[in-house]
Structure 1
Amino acid sequence: MSVMSPRSPEKAPPAPPFPAVPRAGRRRLRLDAEDRDVLWLYLLTRAALWTTAYGARWLFPADAGTHDPGPVLAPFERWDWGHFLNVARDGYFPAGRGPWDAEWDDREAFFPGFPLVLRAVHTVVPHWTAAGLLISFVAGGVAVLALVRVARLYLPDAGAGRRTVQVLLISPCAVFLAVGYSESLFLALALPAWLAAQRRAWPLAAVLAALATTVRVSGLFLAAAMALHFVLTARGRADWRPLPWLALPALPAVLYAWYLWARTGDWMAWKHAQERGWYRHFHAPWEAWGTTWESSFDRVLTTGYAFMFQAELLAMVVGLALAVLLVRRRRRPEAVYVGLSLWALGTSYWYQSLPRATLLWWPLWVVLAAWTLRSPRFRTAYFCLAAPLSTLFALTFLTGRWAG
């Protein structure tokens, strides 16, 4: 049976381009044995990352001669966390400050979903970093349970859901699912939205996708994939009645653009913040590839940054291969989702955050899970390569270096 194809009996007629959701998946609300195994694996990998963070404080302090490793949660307070914290604590434009100031931090480049949840949790958990970690911890648990069910849509293999979660949690950038970033919260909303879309529960799917859009702009890519799935699966007149629901996921982006316009006079303030802070001006794909290649291998940057740009190139190759595979397997909605992500991240001055974006490509983890289930050699190769890379990226982030 080919990867990413729906299950069907050996002599059954050709399966439709989208698999039917198993009835058990529709009515099962309690955790089964596979779910419990997945949650146990999830807890163990969280413990491993927290252990790595503890060791990073003691072994790799900023000052090699220090006798104080610093605060326990300091390794998690890196990079984008500062932007989320600033928005949650002070708002987007505190004390009249904004992009008109020379030292502005371009915080409006980050959608408000995660900061709003962070502010709410902070009312119960006073320590901001602990609140952010708690959000990712809970959301990550929801996400891996949803991923189990997504994997069951595509793979007939026993333990497919467990293996899909394994390959995700051991992936190179898995550290970002454990820190105070938005990836876990996005997946906790996007994966259930995709499941609801597969069941044609369009109001629920639209609401969840709208919530995902408040967290990351990738929610719009998810909405586009859902819309294509709707068109390809609608048959009778009754099937088209939920069509207006598909506009709902765009509402958070429109409202956020209106909010920024009301305070800056710029409808494109989000995009302009991305351009100022992260060089996300539009460039042709080959120009972005060329600049990233030069940054990786022409010794124009220090070795740490050059290595991470090499990871950006590899992530782009993996993403393009995945998109081609999805098109060949006639998984068009999934191909749209991945393709839009590649276009958004692959048309800047150079690539940034592509390795981290792979965490959101659930078709990638399903494909890899299928290959590891059906090829013991591939399974051994994947885990032998992914495990040290995962540790390397975790240490890079936890010690304050750029990790994509």
Structure 2
Amino acid sequence: MITRSAGRDALLLWFGSRFGLLVATLLGVTLAGYADRWRKWDATLFITIAQYGYDGEPGRPVDDGLPAFFPGLPMALRVVHLVVDDWAAAGLLVSLVAGAVAMVALARLTELEGANGWMAVLGLLLFPMAVFLSAGYSESLFLAFAIPAWLAARQGRWPAAVLLAAGASCVRITGLFLAAALVVEFVMRAEPMRRAGWLVVPVLPLAAYSYYQYGRTGDWLAWKHAQEAGWGRDFAWPWEAWRTTWRSAMGSDDFSVAFRMEIVGVVVVVAALVWLLVLRRWSEAVYTGTQAAALMTSAYYLSIPRSLLLWFPLWVLLAKVGTRRAWVFVLYAAVSGPLMLLNALRFLDGAWAG
């Protein structure tokens, strides 16, 4: 049962934590410099696409990695830029609004499962990679579509579910995994087959984007090949990916710290996936398992801990456990909260943090 306070509590936690992060980040910088501190790594690439398109800035070498980023966030940036002149600030505003939508939906989804919605929201906000929900990255915008889509599916509102999932597919390739999970959920709920045609809708944005990139490059899989060209994410067997990442984690530079985080992230990913399978939450296992398979068969581990931000079933399960055993949630918060602050500082200082 969804309580009336679920959305209110989620918004209080979201905007309260964003205000705290704002105060902490403003220390030692001017207000004008605040947005610039967030213009790091992928946020810069999203801005480049929003400004100039996938050919990049005129007069500079073409970045072959740009097609790896789906057009949802750059399109949102262009819309917000009509009223917000600073591109970095536009990215922060998109994430702020999208994050609020996502947190309300997460709280309502959790309460539908009989748990405390605020626990799921706070659990996500305390996760070590939560800084990317505030940055001009695509995580918040994706969740703003994906979680309401899942909530709608659970309530049997399939037209809304697939349209929202299509929005998620515009933002990240993860939308394809969400589409697969919706098919499993549809079958498990024994929905009338006359409604099955709706399930094609979330795949259409991927088809449209592939067609667009084919027109640009002559490559139907330009988005996939861009990941290989830009980040060396070729296919590798899971044990090869583990071995490569382990060796990289044994160094002494800053990137070695990031690779150690990747290894810890893999352990958490596998444990969470096993947890879902033991509970026989098949549709959610498909959503998370397909992501895990894609990430763990790359040449090396990259952004695996950050991908857990998108695993909303995990945050629902954490809240369900925390509702019954509060000490588990307190322990999680005590361990994860300081790590979240540390990683936020790393990101704002320009270190690779996710």
Interval containing the TM-score (normalised by the shorter chain) = over 0.9
Give the conservation status (yes or no) of the 8 Å contact 1:176–1:183: yes
Q: Say if 2:49 is the partner of 1:84.
A: no
Match of 2:78 in 1: 119
Amino acid at match of 1:364: L
For the pair 1:173 / 2:129, whether they are aligned, the reply is yes
Contact 1:35 1:145 survives alignment (8 Å): yes
Q: Which residue of 2 aligns with 1:399?
A: 349
1:309 partner letter: F
Where 2:186 maps in the other structure, the secondary structure is helix
Between the two proteins, the alignment pairs up a number of residues equal to 354
Aligned partners of 1:380, 1:228: CA distance in 2, in Å?
A: 34
Against the structure 1 CA distance between its residues 42 and 94, is the aligned structure 2 distance closer, same or farther, given a 3 Å change threshold?
Answer: closer
Q: Distance in 2 between matches of 1:197 and 1:137?
A: 25
What is the TM-score with the length of structure 2 in the denominator? Answer: 0.95
Offset, 1:95: 7.7
Instruction: State the shift of 1:124 in Å.
Output: 1.4
Structure 1 stretches of 5 or more lacking a match? 1-21, 59-67
Match of 2:255 in 1: 305
* 2:27 counterpart of 1:74: no
Q: Which residue of structure 2 lines up, in the alignment, with residue 12 of structure 1?
A: none
- Equivalent positions of 1:5-404 (< 5 A) are 22=1, 25=2, 32-55=4-27, 71-93=33-55, 104=63, 106-154=65-113, 156-157=114-115, 160-234=116-190, 239-297=192-250, 299=251, 302=253, 304-404=254-354
Q: Distance in 2 between matches of 1:224 and 1:233?
A: 15
Q: TM-score, normalised by structure 1?
A: 0.84
5+ unaligned residues in a row in structure 2: which ranges?
Answer: none
Aligned-residue CA RMSD (Å):
1.9
With over 3 angstroms needed to count, the CA separation of the structure-2 counterparts of 1:399 and 1:96, relative to structure 1, is closer
Q: Report Cα offsets for 1:82-102 as digits up to 9, x if no partner.
A: 11001101111258889xx5x
Distance 1:316 1:111 in 2: 25
- The aligned amino acid for 2:330 is T
The verdict on how the C-alpha distance between 1:96 and 1:261 changes in structure 2, with shifts beyond 3 A counting, is farther
Percent identity over the alignment is 46
1:173/1:330 CA distance change after superposition, 3 Å = same
Instruction: Give per-residue Cα distances to partners, 1:158-195, cap 9 Å, x unaligned.
Output: xx101111111111111111111111111010011001
Residues 1:380 and 1:95: Cα distance change in structure 2 (over 3 Å):
closer
Instruction: Decide whether the 8 Å contact of 1:49 with 1:175 is kept in 2.
Output: no
Alpha-carbon displacement from aligned partner over 1:194-231 (angstroms, at most 9, x marks no partner):
01111222111111101100000101101100001111
Greater Rg over alpha carbons, structure: 1
| 2:240/2:299 contact within 8 Å kept | yes
How big is the shift at 1:69?
10
CA contact (8 A) 1:49 1:394 kept: no
* 1:97–1:195 CA distance, 2 compared to 1 (3 A): farther
**Matched residue type, 2:19:** A
What is the Cα deviation at residue 133 of structure 1?
A: 0.8
Tell me which protein shows more helix as a share of its residues.
2
Sort the Cα spacing of 1:149 and 1:95 in 2 relative to 1 into closer, same or farther, 3 A. closer
Q: Which deviations, in whole Å up to 9, do the C-alpha atoms of 1:259-296 show, x marking residues without a partner?
A: 11111111121111100111110000111111111111
